Amino acid sequence: MPGDQSGYDEAQAQHGDRRLAAFAFVDIVGYSILMSKDETRTHARWMTILNDVIRPQTRMHHGSIVKSTGDGILAEFPTARDAVAWAREVQRSVVPAAGEAAGTEPPVALRIAVNVGEIFATPDDIYGDSVNLAARLQEYAEPGGIVLSEAVHNLVHDLPGIEVRDLGRIELKHFEHRVRAYAIPPLVRGISVPAMRRRVTLPSIAVLPLENLSSNRDDDYFADGIVEDIIVSLASLRELLVISRGSTLRYRGKQPDPREVGAALGARYVLMGSFRRTQGLMRVSTQLCDADSGASLWGDRAVVPPDELFDVQDNIIDRIVTGIAPHVRDAELRAALRKRPDSFTAYDYTLRALDFITSLDRERFLQARDYLQRAMDEDREFAMPVAWAARWHSLLIGQGWSADPAADATKALDLAGRAIELDRRNALALATYGHVKSFLFHEYDTAMVYLDRALAACPNSSLALILASCTLAYTGRGAEAVDHAEHALQLSPFDHGLEYYHSTLAIAYYVHGSFEEAVRWSRMAADVNPAYTSNLRYLIAGLVALDRIEEARAVAADLLRLEPDFRVGEWERSRQPFRDPELKARHVERLAKAGLPY
């Protein structure tokens, strides 16, 4: 790619011409990888494209090549229309060849960005912020595609045959404000561009010793115990890399800059805090910081009587651990959204998928499977996307969106089993396997074995607890199901899939016979996400159990709007989860009584 010109010589630029111009950056996708595989052939192929396509098209569109580097060019044109027409013709000539090459040899695919603005021009080069902006925009083009700045789009949007997609406002390196951009998609979709295999890069965290603000040095033992348990608990989550305690002891008694810690230990996040004992109270304060920016992402403070310290130590640790995990995941998702798609790791793809899954918007939900597949292709030994793919199939069936529930159930079980093979202590994989066995195959005893293993591997996994609650409810153990669901909700009160937690607690209360509580929690789940159809079925049954038939019929109408093909008989045969025949019969009867078609 042509180099970043943000450091251009101001004095040199001032001696050049200042004018308005249109210009384009061209970059070869994966140039260094292509060169490492076959330097001679890659150079020859690029020279052919440059001499047979780019140079002739530049002359035809009244432009000039300002700079040619090893892996790209910078070209100038008199108008934005000339620049865009040129870019389209270049890609039209290069992209088909790239598509045909896929499967035989790595293709040479181009990214092009077009901008228009004021420049400084010398005999050898052009300079200015608008040129820098084009260089950065190019990174957001798909292989074989074109990205336009907002200024260019406003000038060319009426060109015949042009298909443009609004990318919204995106962040560009070295630019203070977001800029709006538009994409012209490639003529050939899914070009297989060269890529080095990237191992999954999990977020790393350093847990520093708590600073003792008390005068009593004997209190250090308490702080050390908390830190040790936090490290062990975080390590069991399996989606964080935790820096060893031996590496963080050097910071005892200090409150260093998180950026210093991150640079020294290679951590992306830093947990730091303090504790103070006063007469009658102990205060423990913690904050999670971004090691790159030093910004605080999350904070918590626990205030407890000293005589209860050991009784509440586990609760303090639970609050800290379950506060860290979702905030790290949110921060990692925000970072992933700023990346170019071809720079995603398996973890990034998985986070994008989770964002789509929890929305329960059908279109986005279906797209999530593609992201999970990309994650699995990116790193075939990473258990997390495999486990979530299993969960995806389970939810697909539960929502009534599966065209072949039996095939999807088998796929869910196969994926969950594969995830366990990849990581036998992965709580998500174990819990998902157990839930699939219970919900889709009605093998409840086997299910509980795997759910118990999941909780042994990670007692702080709120998802494992909530899935265990489901199976306990399916087997009629309502009181235990309530306990598990309440504990899960305490661990993850702001979970992205909160409707699932509320609905599971509703199922637990429904099985327990506490129908008022069941309806209350189902209503809360519907408030969070009215598209979660499984929840509506339990809300309907709970209302009928309370003889609130008109309310139940109204909810039934909502269910049929979301799932128009729902039939009680089909659901009873393929998706009803209860083991106890009497519980199953009552539930089916209540759904029918609300007016749902059989």
Lowest mean pLDDT among 177-186, 208-217, 537-546, 561-570: 208-217
CATH class of 480-598: mainly alpha
Q: Phi/psi zone of residue 144: left (φ > 0), alpha (ψ -120 to 50 degrees), beta?
A: left
Q: Does pLDDT of 470 surpass 50?
A: yes
Q: Does pLDDT of 15 surpass 60?
A: no
| Tokens read off for 81 | 């229309």
pLDDT of residue 106: 65
Q: Does pLDDT of 194 surpass 60?
A: no
In the chain, what are the domain boundaries? 10-184, 204-324, 339-459, 480-598
pLDDT of residue 447: 95
The angle that helices 383-398 and 362-378 make with each other, rounded to 10 degrees, is: 160
Q: Which of 58, 100, 84, 110 is nearest to 184 (CA)?
A: 84
Q: Which long-range contacts (CB under 8 A, 24 or more apart) does 451-460 make?
A: 454/427, 454/428, 454/430, 455/427, 455/431, 457/236, 457/425, 457/426, 457/427, 457/430, 458/236, 458/237, 458/238, 458/427, 459/233, 459/236, 460/233, 460/236, 460/237, 460/318, 460/321, 460/322, 460/491
The fold for domain 204-324 equals Rossmann fold (3.40.50)
Mean pLDDT of the chain: 83
Q: Average pLDDT, stretch 224-233? A: 76
CATH 3.30.70.1230: does it fit domain 10-184?
yes
pLDDT one-digit tens code per residue, 74-84: 899 999 999 99
pLDDT of residue 13: 44
- 339-459 and 480-598 in the same fold: yes
Q: How far is CA 529 from the centre of its chain?
A: 19
Name the more confident of 100 and 447: 447
CA distance 252 to 6: 41
Q: Does pLDDT of 195 surpass 70?
A: no
SS3 167: strand
How many DSSP H helices and E strands does the chain contain? 25, 14
Reported confidence tier of residue 2, pLDDT bands at 50, 70, 90 = very low
SS3 282: strand
pLDDT one-digit tens code per residue, 493-518: 767 788 999 999 999 999 999 999 99
> Taking the domain 339-459, which CATH number applies?
1.25.40.10
Reported confidence tier of residue 594, pLDDT bands at 50, 70, 90 = very high
pLDDT one-digit tens code per residue, 54-67: 999 999 999 999 88
pLDDT of residue 582: 92
Q: Average pLDDT, stretch 476-504? A: 88
pLDDT of residue 11: 45
| Tokens read off for 231 | 């490290």
Q: Does pLDDT of 96 surpass 60?
A: no
Lowest mean pLDDT among 171-185, 298-312, 448-462: 298-312
Reported confidence tier of residue 102, pLDDT bands at 50, 70, 90 = very low
129 burial (CB, 10 Å; 0-12 / 13-18 / 19+) is middle
CB of 151 within 8 A of CB of 173?
no
pLDDT of residue 241: 79
Name the more confident of 395 and 338: 395
Taking the whole predicted model, whether its pTM rises above 0.75 is answered as no
Q: Indicate the DSSP class of residue 120.
A: E
Q: Average pLDDT, stretch 195-205? A: 62
pLDDT one-digit tens code per residue, 259-307: 888 887 788 889 888 888 777 777 888 888 988 888 888 888 877 776 6
